[in-house]
Amino acid sequence: MPFNSFDHYPMSWKPNKNQLRRPIYRSLAQLLEHDINHGFLAPGTKLPPQRELADYLDVNFTTITRAYKLCELKGLLYGVTGNGTFVGANAARSVTISKEHNSNKVIDLGFVASYEQTNEMVSEVIKQVAEKNYLEQLLNYNDPSGIPHHKLAALNWMQTLGIQADTEHVAIVSGAQNAIAITLFALFEPGNRIAVDVYTYANFIEISKMYQIRLVPILGDEHGMLPDALEEQCQQMNIDGVFLMPSCANPTTIMMPIKRKMELAHVIQKYALILIEDDFHAFLSAGTIDHYGQPMYQMLPNQTVYICSTSKSICSGLRVAYVVFNEVFKSKMIKAIYNVNVKTSSLDVEIITELILTGQAQKIVERKKQLAEEGSQLFRKYFSLSPQAGHPLSFFRWLPIPQSKKNLLTERYFLDNGIRVFHSNRFLSSFSKEPDHLRVALSSTSNMEELKVGLKLLSELLNLYQR
Amino acid sequence: MPFNSFDHYPMSWKPNKNQLRRPIYRSLAQLLEHDINHGFLAPGTKLPPQRELADYLDVNFTTITRAYKLCELKGLLYGVTGNGTFVGANAARSVTISKEHNSNKVIDLGFVASYEQTNEMVSEVIKQVAEKNYLEQLLNYNDPSGIPHHKLAALNWMQTLGIQADTEHVAIVSGAQNAIAITLFALFEPGNRIAVDVYTYANFIEISKMYQIRLVPILGDEHGMLPDALEEQCQQMNIDGVFLMPSCANPTTIMMPIKRKMELAHVIQKYALILIEDDFHAFLSAGTIDHYGQPMYQMLPNQTVYICSTSKSICSGLRVAYVVFNEVFKSKMIKAIYNVNVKTSSLDVEIITELILTGQAQKIVERKKQLAEEGSQLFRKYFSLSPQAGHPLSFFRWLPIPQSKKNLLTERYFLDNGIRVFHSNRFLSSFSKEPDHLRVALSSTSNMEELKVGLKLLSELLNLYQR
DNA sequence: TGATTTGTGACTTGACATTTC
DNA sequence: AGAAATGTCAAGTCACAAATC
């Protein structure tokens, strides 16, 4: 007979004993998943200790361990030895951020687009490409990892970002998200652990959940992830990789100075982690910002997959990204690219290549920088920036907001009032006590006037929200 | 002390006891993987029984179970209760089939392309699309699952194949392989089991290995998978899905008659399997072949993901496929599409759409059918077809060859003599005692003359091979 | 500081199903 | 036809590590 009287000190979760079928651990995990997904267990809830629940259900405590673990792999829970097991911040919902059909009344400061105003410059080049007399050669199955000529343009482009590589160690894929999916697929297995910033790219959290990668949040400061914190976690558990966006972390806008990169590289090397370096804002940093230095790929070529998307810098709709890797990863990466994509449309890549080789891409970048500068100025008009404001040209801002009990309803509140923004919780893989933020995209409205209206409305709403 | 004297009855695999580290099961799995990958354990080898090996290594027998299981999930092994554990047919190598750079002297009858001669008809349409005045609207992040207008064209196209659906239940992805990856990702978890034909699509085997899906081969006859065999396996173990290519199975060219589809649908429904229906040859069957009937999606809409690629039928390089699913799968599929692709280039889809709406696509199909007919005739000139020859217009043939000790070296033999073809072993997920075959692609040479030379050479080589 | 709480994970036990002989 | 061989899998035991009090 159980020692405690459970009625007096009720557990946070009491599964119905009668609903349990064999195997118990699966059945229990199912009940747990159901209760989380249906809101009976709020994010952050501390679950009953394994032994206590086991006692209550009259089973061995490792049966509970196993049930909890199933849910952990699905990204619903996380456990802390000596402390307890908790429901994850985003257990109950998908945090995927995608472009949605808004009603016309809503101004989208949520999804980060890329100042799509520049796309007409691309249309021109499409017409030029269509006149080429070798179009047929772009329409077959040849060169699954990219036509050599396209790869050369890629290397040319990435050279300005500080990347040195050759055509044998670059491949063309369909955008950065696609590159991430392929890299996870190629180099990681379900159950592996990847270290991430406490706040990290929401779609990375989501794809990790899907592929059953366990994320290990690492503390950071104003220069990004802390090497000591990473090392500590590496000592404590078996970590397989680390995901970083050094050129401008999403959502925090932190740009990692070269010094921090080197310190982190040291730890990454020491523990033989695989680094996924998503350098999506490099085109706004390299050659523009002093202490930017170079990509981490250059420090750790044998351990890094470097991802350079052209979606933010050149054109979002053509879905072209470059992936750079060393010989050790090559065969696995090529195989994964084939398994996921077969290949990326050579027509699209031809257009990007033409943009690069004719110098049009550089003009687009200049224009986007200009727009980013304008967007930033508008933002500063309505909100004060802290001295540690992150990347000056970032396509989005990380705006501290007062703590509120609304919490999960925050996004709803703004949406109902005509603004789409994302709450910091969406970028959490476990939980955090840091102050709440909003991520505010500056690059998604169709013009600056709309952005201005949006930011003004947001600042007004925020004043009301505080009370 | 062990009962048997192991020196007298040596086990097929004797791992070095001293190399074992803790955890034992992982370390053992690693040794096993190494020995398989380095050829010390040939495909088909029977491994020592779990209890015997455990005795030898002085560990509990379920430690061996676990080690074997790790390797099974990676597609290296398969176990049969009561019989033993065996090294898989393709354990040591990747069976991925991709377009490779051949030396000019090699004629490629391996990779199945799609009579790329028709691509110049596509070039024309690209020029037309480039002149549209709404190009910019194709270059942004909007409509990740496809622009409504594009979806309507998709439905229009698939209607001729017998599919009834609406725009809410179709999505656009980047080719059939991409569709498969997304479907696995969306609806299956690592460790799940999927039933397949004994000989099945090599790239499906490969992606399943990567995602740790266990394949369960099901016996078939000249009309495809046997419903009874499927049912038997379903009773025996927990099977989650089934992968079928009813319009023309790759590599066997079997087209499933409507009667068989209905019988299989019955079993699939009874055991609540998820059906992945890759209908890549439907455009060569629907309306052409009498007893083709309709896709299985129409019989089991709630359990089926229907994949319709335009690579084989319209244009291979543009990477566009349509996916049809019911409401129950919708949110998971849309999420997975976003996580893997974000979206498919709307420019490419616009071109495919234009091809469909102007009727050019239909003309391309007609031309491809003509070419397929020619290719088939050429084949019959050099090889006799059995009465159960499979799909008459198939882009490839399944050619019985004499048993030979060369086995794994068969592909090498033909390659060294100027022909790339694939041996039946490449399409096996476990093992089989059925007679050997070659898969001979008819659609990959740049013209019919080259195909003729290739087939002639192949028939000559085959005569020599027999001796 | 040290006992206690709490989670992790490898290995062991034992029931069971199928195949072989 | 039945005993033995063989693989599968859930659940239990146990050692340990980190956090808390």
Q: How many CB atoms lie within 10 A of CB A404?
A: 14
Nearest residue on chain B to A186, alpha-carbon basis? B210
Q: How many CB atoms lie within 10 A of CB B409?
A: 13
The continuous run of DSSP H or E covering A26 comes out as helix A24-37
pTM assigned to the model: 0.94
Cα–Cα distance for residue pair A149/A151, rounded to 1 Å? 5
Residue B393: per-residue pLDDT? 92
Report whether pLDDT(B3) > 70: no
Give me the residue from B181, B311, B339 closest to A339, CB to CB.
B181
Find the nucleotide nearest A21 (Cα to C1′): D10
Report whether pLDDT(B5) > 70: no
Estimate to the nearest angstrom the gap between the alpha carbon of B170 and the chain centroid.
22
Residue B387: per-residue pLDDT? 57
Using the beta-carbon criterion (under 8 Å), do B116 and A139 form an inter-chain contact? yes
Using the beta-carbon criterion (under 8 Å), do A338 and B96 form an inter-chain contact? yes
Quick one: three-class SS letters along A320-338? CEEEECCHHHHHHHHHHHH
The amino acid at residue A132 is: K
The continuous run of DSSP H or E covering A346 comes out as helix A346-357
**Averaged over B94-111, what is the pLDDT?**
82
Q: Cβ distance B100 to B430 under 8 Å?
A: no
Q: Cβ distance A188 to A167 under 8 Å?
A: no
Cα–Cα distance for residue pair A104/A82, rounded to 1 Å? 51
Q: How many CB atoms lie within 10 A of CB A42?
A: 13
Cα–Cα distance for residue pair A59/A51, rounded to 1 Å? 9
Cα–Cα distance for residue pair A238/A90, rounded to 1 Å? 24
Cα–Cα distance for residue pair A282/A304, rounded to 1 Å? 16
Per-residue pLDDT reduced to its tens digit, B184-209: 999 999 999 999 999 999 999 999 99
Per-residue pLDDT reduced to its tens digit, B33-49: 999 999 899 988 999 99
Those residues whose C-beta lies under 8 Å from the C-beta of residue A292, and which sit 6 or more positions away, are: A247, A255, A257, A258, A285, A286
Residue A431: per-residue pLDDT? 75
**Averaged over B16-27, what is the pLDDT?**
88
Residue B464: per-residue pLDDT? 83
Most distant CA pair in chain A, distance:
84
In 3-state terms, what secondary structure has residue B69?
A: helix
* Cβ contacts of A164-167, under 8 Å, gap ≥ 24: A164/A298, A165/A324
pLDDT band at B103 (very low <50, low <70, confident <90, very high): low
Report whether pLDDT(B467) > 80: no
Find the nucleotide nearest B77 (Cα to C1′): D7
Both tokens of B196, joined, read 């397949």
> Torsion over CA of A341, A345, A346 and A349, rounded to 10 degrees?
-100
pLDDT band at B223 (very low <50, low <70, confident <90, very high): very high
Both tokens of B180, joined, read 């498969």
Per-residue pLDDT reduced to its tens digit, B27-84: 999 999 999 999 899 988 999 999 999 999 999 999 999 999 999 999 999 999 989 9
Closest protein residue to C16 (Cα–C1') = B81
In 3-state terms, what secondary structure has residue B351?
A: helix
Using the beta-carbon criterion (under 8 Å), do A339 and B96 form an inter-chain contact? yes
Q: Strand B321-324 and strand B170-173: pairing?
A: antiparallel
Using the beta-carbon criterion (under 8 Å), do B140 and A116 form an inter-chain contact? yes
Cα–Cα distance for residue pair B66/B45, rounded to 1 Å? 19
Both tokens of A24, joined, read 């118990």
In 3-state terms, what secondary structure has residue A244?
A: strand
From the list A250, A255, A281, the residue with the least C-alpha distance to A390 is A255
Q: Evaluate the CA torsion angle A105, A106, A108, A111 in order and state its sign.
A: negative
Q: Strand A224-225 and strand A220-221: pairing?
A: antiparallel
Give me the residue from A99, A139, A318 closest to B345, CB to CB.
A318
Both tokens of B74, joined, read 């990676």
The continuous run of DSSP H or E covering A459 comes out as helix A448-466
Q: Left (φ > 0), alpha (ψ -120 to 50) or beta: where does A175 sit?
A: left
Those residues whose C-beta lies under 8 Å from the C-beta of residue A466, and which sit 6 or more positions away, are: A402
Q: Cβ distance A61 to A50 under 8 Å?
A: yes
Residue B161: per-residue pLDDT? 94
| Helices vs strands, H then E, count in chain A | 14, 16
Both tokens of B69, joined, read 């299981």
pLDDT band at B9 (very low <50, low <70, confident <90, very high): low
Q: Cβ distance A239 to A233 under 8 Å?
A: yes
Residue A93: per-residue pLDDT? 80
Per-residue pLDDT reduced to its tens digit, B299-342: 999 999 999 999 999 999 999 999 999 999 999 999 999 999 99
Residue the block writes with tokens 């217009």:
B393
Task: Report the DSSP beta bridge partners of residue B196.
Answer: B217
Nearest residue on chain A to B102, alpha-carbon basis? A142
Nearest residue on chain B to A138, alpha-carbon basis? B317
Give me the residue from B178, B339, B348 closest to A96, CB to CB.
B339
Per-residue pLDDT reduced to its tens digit, B378-397: 999 999 876 566 898 999 99
Within B237-359, where are the H helices? 258-270, 327-341, 346-357
Going residue by residue through chain A, which has 467 residues, state the pLDDT in tens, using 9 for 90 and above: 333 333 345 788 999 888 888 789 999 999 999 999 998 999 889 999 999 999 999 999 999 999 999 999 999 999 998 899 999 988 878 888 888 776 678 999 999 999 999 999 999 999 999 999 999 999 999 999 999 999 999 999 999 999 999 999 999 999 999 999 999 999 999 999 999 999 999 999 999 999 999 999 999 999 999 999 999 899 888 899 999 999 999 999 999 999 999 999 999 999 999 999 999 899 998 777 877 889 999 999 999 999 999 999 999 999 999 999 999 999 999 999 999 999 999 999 999 999 999 999 999 999 999 999 999 999 999 998 765 668 989 999 999 988 776 666 788 889 999 999 999 989 988 877 788 899 999 999 999 999 999 999 999 998 887 65
